[in-house]
C-alpha cells in the first residue's frame, strides 16, 4: 500500500518553489524564536510556551501559504476541558510534532535526546518542558518517561507521545512501543488516541510538500484505571490502524 501511495504522490505536480520557501521560513523563524526563548528563559513557563506555540502556528500558516497545505481536525469534543490526558499519536512527518501544539491543549512532548544536538533549536526544546529520553537505554527511557510524564500530568500538562518511536511511511502504522501506555497505567490518567494522514502530503525524508488537506481525528478517551499497559497500548494501536485505513 505504501508503494502505491508513493506512486500517486510522484504523479502530482512538484511544488519546488513552495517547499523551498517553507524550508527557508521554518529555519529562519526557528532561529529568531530560539534566540527569543533563550533571552526570556527567566520568564514563567506560560510565556515561553505561548511563544513556542505561536511559532508552531506560524509554520502551519506558512505551509498553507507556500504549499497550499491545510488541515482539519475531527473529534475535538473528545478532549476534556481542563483535564490533563495522554495523547498517543501516529508519527509520519515533522508536521504533527508542530501542529499538535496548535490544536491540542497545553502539553509537553516526549523527544529523543538526539534532537538536543541541534544548536539553538534543539536546546530551546528544554525551555518548554520537553520530556527527553535516551532510546538506546530502554529501561532508563521508560523510567524517565513515567517519572517526568507523571509530574507533568499532575501539573496539568497533557503529554503527547508518538509510540511508534520513529516516523512511518504514509499509510503505515508501526508497532506501538509501550512507554505511553505504561505512563497511563502507572499514573491513572486517561489516554486519547490521535491519527492523521500527514505523510500523504509532508512525508518523512522528503523535501517536497504537496497541497491538500491533512485530516486529523481525535478518538474517545481510553479508560486506563485498573488496566494493563499492554491492553491500553493494543486498544490505542488498533484504533489508529482502523481509522487511518478509512482516511
Query: Which pTM was predicted?
Result: 0.92
The domain in which residue 94 lies consists of: 2-246
Question: Which band of pLDDT confidence, cut at 50, 70 and 90, is reported for residue 6?
Answer: very low
pLDDT, average across residues 108-128:
87
pLDDT, average across residues 97-116:
94
Burial class of 92 by CB neighbour count within 10 A (0 to 12, 13 to 18, 19+): buried
Strand pairing of 212-218 and 158-161? unpaired
pLDDT digits (tens, 9 = 90+) for 119-171: 788 888 889 999 999 988 888 999 999 999 999 999 999 999 999 999 999 99
Q: How far is CA 149 from CA 85, 95, 96, 186, 211, in A?
A: 10, 23, 20, 10, 36
Q: Is residue 97 over pLDDT 90? A: yes
- 191-196 β-sheet, strand order: 69-74, 212-218, 191-196, 86-89, 158-161, 107-112, 131-133
Q: The domain that contains 224 carries what CATH number?
A: 3.40.1130
Share of the chain above pLDDT 90, in %: 82
pLDDT, average across residues 192-198:
98
Report d(CA 246, CA 105) in Å as an integer. 26
147 Cβ partners below 8 Å, 6+ apart? none
- The total number of structural domains in the chain stands at 1
Amino acid at each position: 500500500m505504501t508503494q502505491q501511495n508513493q506512486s500517486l504522490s510522484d504523479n502530482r505536480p512538484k511544488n519546488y518553489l513552495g517547499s523551498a520557501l517553507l524550508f527557508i521560513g521554518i529555519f529562519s523563524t526557528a532561529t529568531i524564536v530560539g534566540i527569543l526563548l533563550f533571552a526570556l528563559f527567566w520568564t514563567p513557563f506560560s510565556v515561553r510556551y505561548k511563544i513556542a506555540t505561536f511559532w508552531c502556528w506560524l509554520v502551519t500558516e506558512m505551509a498553507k501559504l507556500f504549499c497550499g497545505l491545510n488541515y482539519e481536525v475531527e473529534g475535538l469534543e473528545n478532549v476534556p476541558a481542563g483535564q490533563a490526558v495522554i495523547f498517543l499519536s501516529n508519527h509520519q512527518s515533522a508536521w504533527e510534532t508542530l501542529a499538535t501544539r496548535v490544536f491540542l491543549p497545553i502539553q509537553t512532548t516526549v523527544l529523543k535526546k538526539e534532537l538536543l544536538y541541534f544548536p539553538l533549536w534543539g536546546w530551546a526544546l528544554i525551555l518548554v518542558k520537553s520530556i527527553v529520553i535516551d532510546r538506546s537505554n530502554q529501561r532508563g527511557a521508560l523510567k524517565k518517561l513515567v517519572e517526568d510524564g507523571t509530574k507533568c500530568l499532575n501539573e496539568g500538562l497533557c503529554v503527547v507521545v508518538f509510540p511508534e518511536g520513529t516516523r512511518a511511511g504514509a499509510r503505515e502504522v508501526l508497532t506501538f512501543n509501550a512507554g505511553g501506555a505504561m505512563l497511563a497505567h502507572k499514573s491513572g490518567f486517561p489516554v486519547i488516541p490521535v491519527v492523521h494522514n500527514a505523510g500523504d502530503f509532508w512525508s518523512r525524508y522528503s523535501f517536497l510538500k504537496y497541497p491538500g488537506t491533512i485530516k486529523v481525528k481525535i478518538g474517545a478517551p481510553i479508560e486506563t484505571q485498573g488496566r494493563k499497559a499492554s491492553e491500553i497500548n493494543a486498544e490505542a494501536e488498533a484504533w489508529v490502524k482502523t481509522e487511518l485505513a478509512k482516511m
